[in-house]
Structure 1
Amino acid sequence: MGGGNHLALSSTGAVKGDTLIDVGSAPSIYQLLSSCEAFEKIIATWFTQSELHQLQKWQNKEADAFDWSSILKHVCGLEGNKATPQEKEEKLRGKIEKVLHCDVSRSNPLAPIDAPKADCVTAVVCLEAACRNFETYGLALRHLSHLLKPNGHLLLAGDLGANYYEVGAEKVFSLPVSETFLREALPGNGYRIVELATFGKPDDADPNASDYEGFYFAHAQKKV
């Protein structure tokens, strides 16, 4: 859900630069497909090694890697079919410079790697699962700011009011963030809000997949 809004902003060129760090990428690539048009280098990250391995399998074109062809076709259509799905896939592969472990609870989330400061950090449906309470969510925002250049961009997307979402037969924890919380947490942890948009739950949403109330997109900049 949130990924579509991130794709829209990236494709307009409103946010661009040299380096993008995506927090919570693996094993997905959908949130990076438009970003590769706006950034020269991408650092993809995840907390667990198994998901990082799946992303690396795709990057290395291994035979049993996940097939993203339907998503690639959809994104290329959204962008006006300026490239074929195959061209888009190869362009993204070429832009991903590193695949790294990430832990947003640490002051340097990429430790022990000391990565160059990024022009943009993205986190799509990530912090709500990684943070167990609102205090640690705020700390995670502060830690992510350490990855950014002054005035660097932070793009967030996620669910509103969700306590869980289903992955197969399992219910996975989600922190039920609200628009009010986000409007306080971002300025309170080193950012200036550029845009914060919220959207209601679609009428055709699966009522059993999650108890979310809607979703949000946030664009903020690191304060100097």
Structure 2
Amino acid sequence: MSDFTNASEYEKQFDPRLYLETYFHLGSGSLADDFLRFTLGNFHKIFTEGQVKGTTLIDIGTAPSIYQLLSACEYFQDITVTWYTNRELQELQKWLNKDQGAFDWSSIVKHVWELEGKSGMLEEKENKLRERIKQVLLCDVSKSNPLEPVTLPKADCLISTVCLEAACRNYDSYRTALKNLSTLLKPGGHLLMAGDLGANYYEVGSNKVFSLPVNETFLQKAVNESGYVVNKLVSFGKPEDAGYDTSDYEGFYFIHAQKC
């Protein structure tokens, strides 16, 4: 088995629109309700507390999602988004272009809007994010330069949500990916990560999509050993009364680290 998920195999299993429809209508009662409230709350907090500042931000494995950038776009002027497969890119591009068939992010945008204590047209928030996205690039975390053949100036911040667990087939490759990502960051630059704990899979339609099961001990050690210092690692355990079974996850994590 390869150390990293093959793009063509991933495309066969992962339908990006079905993924969005399954997990990204906040309030639908899916496991993602817990994940989104936890993750969006932590992104909001880390930025509003002033711990993470800068001009340039790269999001690793963006497509087809935008939720992880809704707080960041208030603090970073230059955002680069990345994708791994063409199907994901096509779904993201619909939103960027305001196509009629684009996914409806309004429930999540409204939640972030409320976290920020604002009111008004939700479209304002989405338009601000569109304006801040300056580039859309191919990304492959198995490469020493994940954005190859493009080389960008070192960024102030990297974001990666529910990405490395899907991309990396074992723990050694996870560490390799973290080291590869560090080449995109300035010394002292910020790494923000969020994802599932203990998940071996999540369902997209009838397919069970692979996930590398990670825990807090592994994450703390792997991030520290890959050229970063962990400033914050928080987790949220699966509620005992959770009635959804689309993943065997045990909880969620959020990490703030800085490159040494």
- Tell me if 1:184 matches 2:221: yes
> 1:52: which partner in 2?
89
> 2:9: which partner in 1?
none
> 2:52: which partner in 1?
15
Q: Report the residue type matching 2:159 in the other structure.
A: T
- Tell me if 1:171 matches 2:201: no
Are the equivalent residues in 2 in contact too, given 1:3–1:30 (CA < 8 A)? no
Are the equivalent residues in 2 in contact too, given 1:18–1:39 (CA < 8 A)? yes
List alignment gaps of at least 5 residues for structure 2: 1-34
> 2:39: which partner in 1?
3
Matched residue count: 223
Q: CA deviation at 1:81?
A: 1.2
- 1 or 2, which has the higher strand percentage? 1
Matches within 5 A, 1:41-190: 41-81=78-118, 84-190=121-227
Distance 1:99 1:111 in 2: 13
Residues 43-68 of structure 1: per-residue CA shift (max 9 Å, x gap): 11110011112111211112211121
Q: CA deviation at 1:204?
A: 4.3
Are the equivalent residues in 2 in contact too, given 1:11–1:35 (CA < 8 A)? no
Select between 151-160 and 65-74 the one with higher mean Cα deviation: 65-74
Residues 16-50 of structure 1: per-residue CA shift (max 9 Å, x gap): 21011011111111111010001011111110011
Distance 1:183 1:68 in 2: 32
List alignment gaps of at least 5 residues for structure 1: none
Q: CA deviation at 1:7?
A: 3.5
Q: 1:36 aligns with which of 64, 73, 77?
A: 73
Distance 1:3 1:168 in 2: 24
Q: Report the residue type matching 1:79 in the other structure.
A: E
Distance 1:14 1:162 in 2: 29
Distance 1:180 1:24 in 2: 24
Is the alpha carbon distance of 1:83 and 1:107 closer, same or farther for their aligned partners in structure 2, counting shifts above 3 Å? farther
Distance 1:119 1:139 in 2: 21
Are the equivalent residues in 2 in contact too, given 1:192–1:221 (CA < 8 A)? yes
Q: CA RMSD in A?
A: 1.4
Residues 173-211 of structure 1: per-residue CA shift (max 9 Å, x gap): 111111111111111110011111122112343441111
Q: CA deviation at 1:123?
A: 0.4
TM-score norm. by structure 1 comes to 0.95
Distance 2:45 2:241 in 1: 22
Q: CA deviation at 1:82?
A: 5.5
Q: Report the residue type matching 1:34 in the other structure.
A: S
Distance 2:81 2:243 in 1: 29
Distance 1:102 1:118 in 2: 15
Query: Is the partner of 2:55 in helix, strand or coil?
Result: strand
Distance 2:212 2:165 in 1: 5
Residues 109-150 of structure 1: per-residue CA shift (max 9 Å, x gap): 010111111100010111111100000000000000000001
Query: Is the partner of 1:75 in helix, strand or coil?
Result: helix
